[in-house]
Amino acid sequence: MYNSKISGLGYFVPDNVVTNSDLSKVMDTNDEWIQERTGIKERRHVVKGEDTTSTMGVKAAKIAIERAGIDKDDIDFIVFATLSPDYYFPGPGVQVQRDLGIKTIGAIDIRNQCSGFVYAISLADQYIKSGMYKNVLVIGSELHSGGLDMTSRGRGVSVIFGDGAGAVVLTREEDNSKGILSTHLHSEGAHAEELSLIAPGMGKRWVLDILKDNDPNDESYFPYMNGQFVFKNAVVRFSEVIMEGLKANNLEVTDIDMLIPHQANLRISQFIQRKFRLKDDQVYNNIMKYGNTTAASIPIALTEAWEQGKIKEGDLVVLAAFGSGFTWGSAIIRW
């Protein structure tokens, strides 16, 4: 059995900055409400036509591959996590294979929303642990802005989300005390609809139904979130799955050097920080600048923290996520 380690990492966010006051010009919201409830000051939105989920993923991937010091043809497999693919099908994994000009390796897409990146590296880690692959490219990328209800009706959701991408290369590590020590994944489908976008889908409303009804009050193709219910579940599940990961490795909260929580809401991160008595420099947050970028939030935050020298060799890095599904998970990494 091998371990896998993060050998390269990168991120890309669009240049276009959308501030809270920009949003207040198109919907009934304000900077004070958004900052107080979420911590978000601004987010990035793609300028239509300039980028897509797959092209942002490719840009982040190129940086990660270069930093890993490998050639694109050394990559054995691609894992792409997103809830906002360019196409209904195929998923963006194959677009990355094409756009990077990589030979006909396998590509898979992960549909686990905010937990997508943790699920994605867990999957990649198993392929490497088993010896099947040596280098796996893992991407989390989202283009939310094109699919949000940018009117007052959608303000409870639309102010939160932003666009961006992050990527890592996972590489075989022979030393079992280093790299990804373990990953822990959970789901609770009883709450599938509490944070969801149900149309178009084969379950309730397909495209033809939407076109036929042509109903201006139709909200089924915009994301829905039962905010307070999601919040309450998030704080519990984040805490549980971090503890589960530490316990599995005989580690304590005091062993954590850097916690990178999925950037769902600054208040959730602060709650966990307080609960675990972590110092400010032990938790990395960037939701203030980028909003919630779902599957991209952890790899963007991880890359930024690493670029700023906040993660050093030997550090214990914990990734944790919770979101739609509900799904949640953690990864315990010895850097």
Catalytic residues: 114, 262, 292
Closest-CA residue to 278 (of 314, 326, 246, 231): 246
Q: Which two tokens stand for residue 141?
A: 């990328």
Token pair in block for residue 37: 């409830």
- Side-chain half-sphere of 73: how many Cα atoms within 13 Å? 1
> How many residues bind ligand UT7, per CB under 6 A?
21
When asked if residue 159 is in the footprint of ligand UT7 (CB under 6 A), the reply is yes
Residue-by-residue DSSP string for 29-89? --HHHHHHHH---EEE-PPTTT--HHHHHHHHHHHHHHHHT--GGG--EEEEE-SS-SSSS
Q: How far is the CB of 172 from ligand UT7 (least distance, A)?
A: 32
169 and 8 in contact (C-beta within 8 Å)?
yes
C-alpha distances in Å from residue 335, one per residue of 3, 112, 151, 258, 329:
12, 25, 44, 10, 19
Give yes or no for residue 186 binding ligand UT7 (CB under 6 A): no
61 binds ligand UT7 (CB under 6 A): no
Query: Per residue in 182-200, is it b (16+ CB within 10 Å) or e — as a string?
Result: bbbbbeeeebeebbbbbbb
Q: In the complex, what is the shortest distance from the CB of residue 152 to ligand UT7, in angstroms, rounded to a whole number? A: 8
Which helix (DSSP H) or strand (DSSP E) does residue 117 occupy? helix 116-129
- The reply on whether position 38 binds ligand UT7 by CB under 6 A is yes
Among 106, 156, 200, 201, binds ligand UT7 (CB under 6 A): 156
Site for ligand UT7 in 242-271 (CB under 6 A): 264-265, 268
User: Which of these ranges, 5-13, 203-211, 226-234, 300-308, lies near ligand UT7 under the rule CB under 6 A?
Assistant: 226-234
Nearer to ligand UT7, 53 or 292 (CB): 292
Q: Which one of 63, 99, 134, 231 is in contact with ligand UT7 (CB under 6 A)?
A: 231
- Residue 156 or residue 200: which is nearer to ligand UT7 going by CB? 156
Stretch that binds ligand UT7, among 42-50, 73-81, 152-160, 198-206 (CB under 6 A): 152-160
Q: Which residues bind ligand UT7 (CB under 6 A)?
A: 29, 33-34, 37-38, 114, 155-156, 159-160, 227-228, 230-231, 234, 264-265, 268, 292, 322-323
